[in-house]
């Protein structure tokens, strides 16, 4: 049994690692086809994405970029874990950011309070937008995946309209809102990269979401109504409440993601603010195995590869920066593909072991572990 457990662990870690290696190999081939060394390219990405020198800290830029991605990824984790397959983080992020910008500009508050007010507005807006698919799913049985596609498009259009007309700061070719007040801005540790309190908040959110899902009763109910709905129902948990809570919480998290992007980095919302950060967060959540810590790590990895590919590959080696996102997309594809293969492989092994037990004349009555069902 001990050996079985070890082999199983190796398989379960080995297959995703194999998928990641495979996607890196394809990326290496693409770089090689351009006549550049894949090793040099990889080290350039790491150098440009994760190094830090006194003059300019690349890691700071990475972490500053990671904050909003992590929040969106956490929003996705809360939704997906509860069985609410919402891909609406993009819309929640956009409208949350807009609400933060409006609150940060319009509401006068003392220095310590103003960012809290702005982020509360972001969270509220994100939660309101995020609970729509949850309500429709619970009470009308609408497919949340499809309705969030439409909601994302509507949020993008709404943002473009608001930024261009009612909230437009001044006449210019591109619409943008007023700049948020100085008091409402999040403190920045490094002015050149805008690395600041926003990332600290993201780390705190990772811890909080991890604690909520794994260590609290409501979080447990939420996970169970996603992972084992029948168990949740029969043991008296309300899946309706869980899904609604997931919509509110997931939306609030993605909304705060937009809020910290605005009051931490941009200080205003420009037309086209909805640039795919929410979607990146969703993919980070999926690649991170829909866990809070995975979402946090993958969020940093995504940001690092983006920064590294732009600052390193494209500028220093002349390799188009899209290679970074290409490899990440390949990872999603390969990791999605390995999951059922792993299941099939384990079933095959189980069956073979059960057959061996039968052949050796073992009695089926004795508890023979997992193969006993045969």
Partner 1 sequence: MNLVADFLNSGIRLTVPILFAAIASLLSARAGVLNLAIESKVLAGAFVGILVAAGTGNTLLGVLAAAASGALIGALLALAQRLGVDLVVLAIGLNILVLQLTVYLMRSYLGGVGTYSPDLETIPPLTIPGISDLPFLGALLSRLNWSVYLAFFAAILVGIYFRTRSGRHLLAVGEAPIAAASAGLSVGRTQTLTLLAAGALAGIGGAYLSVGDLGLFTRNMSADRGWIGITAALLALNKPAFIVPAAAVFGFASAASIRLQAFDVPASVTQFIPQGAAFVALVLVGLRAKSRGSFLRLWSQSSRIPLGRLREPGPPRPEPGAAPPPESSRVEEPSSSRSPRG
Residues that bind partner 1 (CB under 8 A): 30, 33-34, 80-81, 83, 85, 87, 136, 139-143, 145-147, 149-151, 153-154, 157-158, 160-161, 164-165, 226-231, 279, 282-283, 286, 289-290, 319-320, 322-323, 325-326, 328-333, 335-337, 339-341, 343-344, 347, 351, 354, 373-374
Q: How far is CA 145 from CA 7, 43, 79, 256, 276, in A?
A: 37, 38, 11, 22, 17
CB 222 → partner 1: shortest distance, Å? 12
Residue 147 · residue 83 · CB < 8 Å = no
The residue among 265 and 314 lying less far from partner 1, judged by its C-beta, is 314
Residue 308 · residue 324 · CB < 8 Å = yes
The residue among 55 and 340 lying less far from partner 1, judged by its C-beta, is 340
Nearest to 324 by CA among 51, 64, 49, 87: 49
CB 189 → partner 1: shortest distance, Å? 32
The residue among 64 and 155 lying less far from partner 1, judged by its C-beta, is 155
The residue among 103 and 319 lying less far from partner 1, judged by its C-beta, is 319
CB 191 → partner 1: shortest distance, Å? 31
The residue among 200 and 228 lying less far from partner 1, judged by its C-beta, is 228
The residue among 123 and 303 lying less far from partner 1, judged by its C-beta, is 303
CB 304 → partner 1: shortest distance, Å? 17
The residue among 24 and 228 lying less far from partner 1, judged by its C-beta, is 228
Residue 255 · residue 119 · CB < 8 Å = no
Distance CA 345, CA 350 (A): 9
The residue among 8 and 344 lying less far from partner 1, judged by its C-beta, is 344
CB 69 → partner 1: shortest distance, Å? 14
The label of the residue with tokens 């991605």 reads 69
CB 65 → partner 1: shortest distance, Å? 17
CB 259 → partner 1: shortest distance, Å? 22
CB 293 → partner 1: shortest distance, Å? 16
Report the Cα 61 to chain-centroid distance in Å.
Answer: 18
> Max alpha carbon distance in the chain (Å)?
85
């Amino acid at each position: 049994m001990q050996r079985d457990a070890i082999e199983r662990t190796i398989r379960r870690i080995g297959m995703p690692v194999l998928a990641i290696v495979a996607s890196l190999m394809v990326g290496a081939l693409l770089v090689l086809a351009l006549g550049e060394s894949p090793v040099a390219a990889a080290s350039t990405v790491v150098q440009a994405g994760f190094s830090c020198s006194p003059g300019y800290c690349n890691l700071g830029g990475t972490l500053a970029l990671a904050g909003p991605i992590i929040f969106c990824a956490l929003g996705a984790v809360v939704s997906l874990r509860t069985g609410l397959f919402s891909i609406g983080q993009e819309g929640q992020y956009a409208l949350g950011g807009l609400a933060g910008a409006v609150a940060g500009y319009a509401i006068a508050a003392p220095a310590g309070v103003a960012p809290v007010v702005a982020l509360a507005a972001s969270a509220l807006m994100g939660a309101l937008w995020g609970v729509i698919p949850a309500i429709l799913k619970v009470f009308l049985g609408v497919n949340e995946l499809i309705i969030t596609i439409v909601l994302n498009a509507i949020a993008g259009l709404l943002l473009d309209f608001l930024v261009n007309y009612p909230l437009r700061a001044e006449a210019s070719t591109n619409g943008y809102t007023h700049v948020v007040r100085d008091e409402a801005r999040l403190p920045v540790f490094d002015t050149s990269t805008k690395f600041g309190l926003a990332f600290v908040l993201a780390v705190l959110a990772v811890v909080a979401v991890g604690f909520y899902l794994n260590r609290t009763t409501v979080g447990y109910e939420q996970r169970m109504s996603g992972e084992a709905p029948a168990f949740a129902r029969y043991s008296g948990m309300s899946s309706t409440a869980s899904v609604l809570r997931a919509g509110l919480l997931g939306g609030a998290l993605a909304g705060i993601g937009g809020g910290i992007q605005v009051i931490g980095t941009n200080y205003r919302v420009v037309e086209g603010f909805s640039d795919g950060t929410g979607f990146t967060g969703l993919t980070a959540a999926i690649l991170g195995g829909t866990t809070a810590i995975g979402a946090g790590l993958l969020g940093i990895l995504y940001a690092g590869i983006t920064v590294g590919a732009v600052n390193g590959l494209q500028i220093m080696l002349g390799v188009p920066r899209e290679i970074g996102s290409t490899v990440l997309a390949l990872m999603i594809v390969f990791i999605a593909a390995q999951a059922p293969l792993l299941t099939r492989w384990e079933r095959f092994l189980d069956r073979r072991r059960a057959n061996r037990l039968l052949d050796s004349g073992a009695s089926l009555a004795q508890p023979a572990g997992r193969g006993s069902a045969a």
